[in-house]
Amino acid sequence: MKTRSACLLAAFLLLAPAGAFAEICSLDNAPAATLLLPYFEVDLDHPSGQTTLFTINNASGTAVITNVVIWTDLGVPTLNFPLYLTGYDVQTINLRDVFNGALARTASVGQDPGDLLSPKGRYSQDINFATCTGLLPVPAALPADFLASLRAAHTGRSSAVLGGCAGRNLGDNLARGYITVDTVNQCTLRTPNFLEGYFGPNGVTTDQNVLWGDYFYVDPANNFADGENLVRIEAFPGAFKPGDATFYGRYVNGSGIDNREPLATVWASRFAVGGAFSGGTDLVVWRDSGRRVGPFACGTSPPGFPLTLVNEVTFDEQERAETPFFPCVGCQPGPQVGAFPAEAGRVQVGSPDFLVPFDFGWLVLDLKIPPPGQGDGGLRQGWVGTVMKAQGRFSVGFSATPVDTACDPMPQDHEP
Amino acid sequence: MGRTLRCVPWKSAVILLALLGMAATATAATTSVCALDDRPGATLLLPYFEVDLDHADGPTTLFSVSNASAMAVLANVVLWTDLGVPTFSFPVYLTGFDVQTFNLRDLFTGSMVKTASAAQDPTDHISPKGIFSQDIAFDSCTGFLPQPDLPAAVLDHLRAAHTGQSSPVWNACGGQNRGDHVARGYLTVDTVSRCATLTPADPGYFGPGGVATGQNVLWGDFFYVDPAKDYADGDNLIRLKADPTAFTGKPTFYGRYVNGSGADGRQPLPPDWAARYIAASGFTEGTDLIVWRDSGQVVTPFPCGHPPSWYPLLMASYVAFDEEEHPFIPPTFPFSEWFPGPKAQPPLPPPDQLPAEANRLQVGTENLAVPFDFGWIYLYLSAPSHVPPFGFASLQGWVGVVMKAGGRFSVGFAGTPLSSGCNPNQPVLPQ
């Protein structure tokens, strides 16, 4: 009887279309077709230093292929690899392993007939993706020259493979960037920034809202660990028309054919710089530059960078407000260069990069980009997370509060 | 890339803040009120709290309540025992864009956060405000605000009720007695129109003339802090959006208190959740699940030793998968035993499998057994009814995850909902 119950339950899980309840334009934690790890960092100098871990889970009994794409902090894709998930599978990835050349090794039935790489349980589908032959399992180790280029690209140094730089060089040998994970119908070498063949009728992406997962920032030396759910970006086929904001809108010329809901443009976050949280507060921010970014000459910045801000207001606990940093003359607001110049970054509230006049309170960030004439662009989406730290003791991370959605963004005002 | 604090273009700030207030108060212009997202809500839920009353440096719970709008609002904070009996409520006044933080250890030692509207605080000493923030008078709050520190009798009541002992106010019990003198329960925060001693369980709280409002302006977070172990983890408070017209006759968060009428207008939570767990490797102290459940009952104080008839809450199902997707259906899985037919009385459930409305339980322990060190767990949290026809008394719940490395760090985050509270998946019953 118990076996029968189990079978029925598994059948129920299989039948329940994960993501069928997804709410369009809502930043909820429902399983999704795309996962975003908004920022990662790996200390390449210290094996016991900071690293970032994340998991990818399959909420359905159906096997799926995902395309994991690693981007620099300025939005240049540097590496992608397929990850096969049997039904209800979970894969954990420590990015330190990736930057040491070891990728997660999975394989569908065609490449793993003995189920040694991707074993499965009795309720999980395990099928063959013939397109993965030759691509899965990924090599046990990345070639040394490619690995050197990968490490260079994510630390802002010249990458031989890319023929230039691709990220910021902050002089600390921390590999930085962000990651996307998309459901796809075949193993592919393409990434979302390809001009064609990734999205749309002949594209490789699918709209299977089945992925969930989480991520941790771990700093063993400081006894810090904090984390949150990966950002789940649900797909809604046919819901977005040309001109609508979508998550990958910059790569589909605003056509909406990626079907992915966009993020928010305005965020609110608490901060504490003192008290129990003696290590202060970091903001983790992912931003959409609105551009297809390619490698650039080292020592320069790609077009459109550094990114600017529309507005920011900081409150203390008595609701005194400051709008702190328009570099203007006679209060003529112009493009703001400041704390969040990249697509992916982490900055400490109260540091020289992000001065605030208070030790405690909350702030509002409008991540839209000033329009032409004052900057570059217009509507841009983003994501904000908060990490509060007690020096050497603990840290707590959680997502900030979205105030709008890019489906219906708060308007921006730029009148002086 | 550094910057300096310089001239302030107030007009731009004013416009941003005005828009912020509009965005915060707009309900579901483009998104459904059923979305379980982090937009500001009309109700906040702290799904579980614990305060070690014996050790000043022991575990405690902190939370914050923020107002996303420029308009001043009143919030009603309600403490509930882990079995769902309301024990205490108090109003909190928030000026526009206000934020208030609370350490529940302070409350359980009698110290209250002081707030007051303009009527009780004309000189703005208690609830000061910034130039963009509204500060108005709530005349109904005179006598309530500023909240005095708790008298000894109330404090004794609170400490007893939340540790499962006999409350001198009730002369009865209201929660589980786990024998450890840790105060446990959960907490709700609702936007209200006036100060009152009401809770959601009282008539006059919801509906026409009720004190509850549908202002979707509240946001906040919570932390579990254990200073002795250097643990701290937390997440956003659960933000429940209100729409006064969307839920007529439908399930809602406070449905049990409005006879299912939908008069509270609050979105419901889903019943089915997924959560990862680790019981080895770097996380040497394993994984705790934080689980809030709706018993579907209006719970009142009970004679000590005689908990409500629905206690312990049964669990419809859980399945644990390892990283190779091998499923584990617990041997105590109750379907076959307590659903043999419509006429049978279900036997006693397994002990302490998330038996209360607010729970914290370590994965892999006797009460939530899994044979694996790593994987994920599927939970269906509906509360089965103990009485014929043995249906489900409620279909909502919430799950959080806390992973711990002994004496080093802990990480907390929400589980993954697998359906919508407005359109929940149904459990599968053997035929």
Instruction: Tell me the domain boundaries of chain A.
Output: 23-251, 266-402
For residue B227, pLDDT over 70 is answered with yes
pLDDT the model gives residue A18: 46
Concatenated DSSP letters of A243-254: TS--TTGGGTTT
Q: Is the dihedral of CA B33, B35, B40, B44 positive or negative?
A: positive
From A203-212, B224-233, B255-264, the region with the lowest mean pLDDT? B224-233
At residue A173, the pLDDT reads: 96
Peptide bond into B59 cis (omega under 30): no
Residue of A nearest to B332 (CA): A2
Looking at A27-41, A78-92, A136-150, A221-235, which range is the least confident one? A221-235
**Tokens (6 digits) for B336:** 């076959």
Contact A315, B131 (CB under 8 A): no
Distances (CA, A) of B336 to B330, B377, B395, B431: 12, 20, 20, 10
Per-residue model confidence (pLDDT) at position B347: 41
Residue A339 CA to residue A358 CA, distance in Å, equals 17
Q: Which single residue is written with the structure tokens 């407000």?
A: A321
C-alpha distances out from residue B241 to A231, B108, B190, Å: 21, 29, 11
Which chain A residue is nearest to residue B28, measuring alpha carbons? A26
Across the range A237-266, mean pLDDT stands at 95
B22 pLDDT band, cuts 50/70/90, is low
> Can you tell me the mean pLDDT for B317-328?
84
Angstrom distance (rounded) from CA A75 to CA A193: 10
Q: How is residue B25 annotated by DSSP?
A: H
Are the beta carbons of B3 and A324 separated by less than 8 Å?
yes
Q: CA separation (Å) from A84 to A135, A159, A182, B282?
A: 11, 29, 12, 25
- pTM exceeds cut of 0.80: yes
Of A91-95, A309-313, A350-354, A402-406, highest mean pLDDT: A91-95
* Cβ-Cβ contacts under 8 Å, B235 against chain A: 228, 398
Q: Do the chains contact at A2 and B23, CB–CB below 8 Å?
A: no
Q: Is the pLDDT higher at A357 or at B252?
A: B252
Q: In terms of Cα–Cα distance, which of B63, B73, B68 is closest to B95?
A: B73
**Sheet containing A266-272: order of strands:** A321-322, A311-316, A360-366, A266-272, A401-402
Interface test with A, best of B284, B416, B419, B422 (most A CBs within 10 A): B416
Residue B193's CB: how many other CB atoms inside 10 A?
16
Mutate to test the interface with A, among B413, B419, B429 (most CBs of A within 10 A): B413
Nearest CA to B11 out of A308, A366, A269, A311 is that of A311
In this model, does residue A330 exceed pLDDT 60? no
The region of weakest confidence among A168-177, A284-293, B394-403 is B394-403
Residue A1 has pLDDT above 50, yes or no: no
C-alpha dihedral, A237 to A55 to A14 to A186, nearest 10°: 50
Confidence at residue B11, expressed as pLDDT on a 0 to 100 scale:
54
Q: Is B46 left (phi over 0), alpha (psi -120 to 50) or beta?
A: beta
Contacts of A416 in chain B (CB under 8 A): 9, 11
Instruction: Measure in Å the smallest separation between the Cα of B11 and chain A Cα atoms.
Output: 8
Q: Using a CB-CB distance cutoff of 8 angstroms, which residues of chain B are in contact with residue A405?
A: 30-31
Residue A277 has pLDDT above 80, yes or no: no
Q: How far apart are the C-alpha atoms of B384 and B399, rounded to whole Å? A: 18
CB contact under 8 A, B411 and A216: yes
Angle at A61 between CA A60 and CA A67, to 5 degrees: 60
d(CA B252, CA A59) in angstroms, rounded, equals 26
Angstrom distances, CA of residue B72 to CA of A400, B128, B138, B215? 22, 12, 10, 11
Of A29, A216, A413, the CB nearest to B417: A29
Q: How far apart (Å, rounded) are the C-alpha atoms in residues A13 and B100?
A: 42
pLDDT at B391: 64
Choose the closest CB to B36 out of A28, A123, A328. A28
- So what's the pLDDT on residue B390? 59
Residue of B nearest to A358 (CA): B5
Residue B337 — pLDDT band, cuts 50, 70, 90?
very low
Least CB–CB distance from A333: residue in B12, B225, B329: B12
CB-based contact A410 B317, cutoff 8 Å: no
Model confidence at A129, pLDDT cuts 50, 70, 90, reads very high
- Nearest CA to CA, how far is A197 from chain B (Å)? 30
Identify the residue with better confidence: B93 or B10. Answer: B93
pLDDT higher than threshold 50 for residue B3: no
Share of residues in chain A with pLDDT > 90 (%): 67
Please give the distance of CA B373 from its chain centroid, rounded to a whole number. Answer: 29
User: Mean pLDDT throughout A224-247?
Assistant: 94
A398 and B376 within 8 Å at the Cβ level: the answer is no
Q: What percent of chain A has pLDDT over 70?
A: 87
C-alpha B84/C-alpha B185 separation (Å) is: 8
Q: Is the pLDDT of residue B36 over 90?
A: yes
Instruction: Compute the mean pLDDT over every residue in chain A, rounded to the nearest whole number.
Output: 87
**Antiparallel, parallel or unpaired: β B182-192 and B392-394:** unpaired
Testing the interface with A: which of B16, B115, B121 to mutate, by most A Cβ within 10 A? Answer: B16
Decide if pLDDT at A326 tops 90: no
- Cα separation, A380 vs A254, in Å, equals 12
Q: Which pLDDT belongs to residue B196?
A: 94
Phi, psi of A269 (to 5 degrees): -145, 140
Are A295 and A159 in contact by the 8 Å Cβ rule? The answer is yes
Give me the amino acid identity at B212: A
Sign of the Cα pseudo-torsion (B2, B7, B10, B12, in order): negative
Say which DSSP state B274 is in: E
Alpha-carbon distance values, B372 to A215, B376, B429 (Å) = 21, 10, 26
Q: How far apart are CA A134 and CA A111, in angstroms?
A: 8
The answer on pLDDT for B61 being more than 70 is yes
Q: Is the pLDDT of residue A377 over 90?
A: no
Q: Compare all CA atoms of chain B with the CA of A314 and give the residue at the minimum distance.
A: B13
Measure in Å the smallest separation between the Cα of B132 and chain A Cα atoms: 8
Give the closest of B1, B7, B130 to A341, CB-based: B1
**What are the structural domain ranges in chain B?**
34-257, 272-417
Sole residue written with tokens 């050349």:
A101
Q: Which residue has the tokens 């409620």?
A: B394
Cβ-Cβ contacts under 8 Å, B115 against chain A: none
Residue of A nearest to B97 (CA): A319
Contact B24 A229 (CB under 8 A): no
Distance CA A38, CA A287 (A): 9
Show the beta-strand stretches assigned E in B5-72: 43-52, 60-67
User: Among partner residues A120, A319, A330, which is closest to B97 by beta-carbon distance?
Assistant: A319
pLDDT at B28: 42
Q: Which residues contact A201 (CB under 8 A, 6 or more apart)?
A: none
Contact flag B327-A121 (C-beta cutoff 8 Å) = yes
pLDDT at A311 over 50: yes
Does the pLDDT at position A41 exceed 80?
Answer: yes
Q: Give the model's confidence band at B413: pLDDT under 50 very low, under 70 low, under 90 confident, else very high.
A: very high
On the question of pLDDT at B410 being above 50, the answer is yes
Residue whose token pair is 């006679």 = A330
In angstroms, the CA B56 to CA B241 distance is: 36
Rounded Cα gap, residues A367 and A381, in angstroms: 7
Q: Mark yes or no for CB contact A268/B325 under 8 Å.
A: no
B280 chain-A contacts, CB cut-off 8 A: none
Mean pLDDT of all residues in B177-193: 97
**Mean pLDDT of the residues in chain B:** 86
Q: Which of A396, A407, A413 to mutate to test the interface with B (most CBs of B within 10 A)?
A: A396
Greater model confidence, B313 or B116: B116
Cα–chain-centroid distance for residue B207? 22
Average the pLDDT over B2-30 and give the result.
51
B79-84: average pLDDT: 98
Token code pair at residue A373: 């004439």
What does each C-alpha distance from B99 to A316, B95, B113 come to in angstroms?
Answer: 9, 9, 12
